[in-house]
Amino acid sequence: GNVHVVQPEFDRGIEKRLRPYFERYQTIQLDNFKISADQLRECGHGAQAMVHSCK
């Protein structure tokens, strides 16, 4: 089937607050935590990403 996703708008300033948390407590960097549409397709074995509105 398809991969169903939402892409909510958010204040990118939050990344400034999250970065220290990732550096201290996570084993992955914040920049590597983000998932691109291409990566979603790969994980979904070529399935299309169906973007739904946030309501």
Q: Residue 15's pLDDT is what?
A: 93
Please report, for residues 17, 43, 54, the alpha-carbon distance to residue 50 in angstroms, rounded to integers and kept in the order given: 30, 14, 13
Please report, for residues 3, 17, 23, 36, 50, the alpha-carbon distance to residue 7 in angstroms, rounded to integers and kept in the order given: 13, 20, 25, 11, 10
Q: Residue 28's pLDDT is what?
A: 93
Residues 38 and 54: their CA atoms lie apart, in Å, by 21
Q: Residue 25's pLDDT is what?
A: 97
pLDDT digits (tens, 9 = 90+) for 15-47: 999 999 999 999 999 999 888 878 877 877 777
Taking residues 1-21, what's their average pLDDT? 90
pTM for the predicted model, two decimal places: 0.59
CA dihedral 55, 51, 8, 22 (to 10 degrees): 140
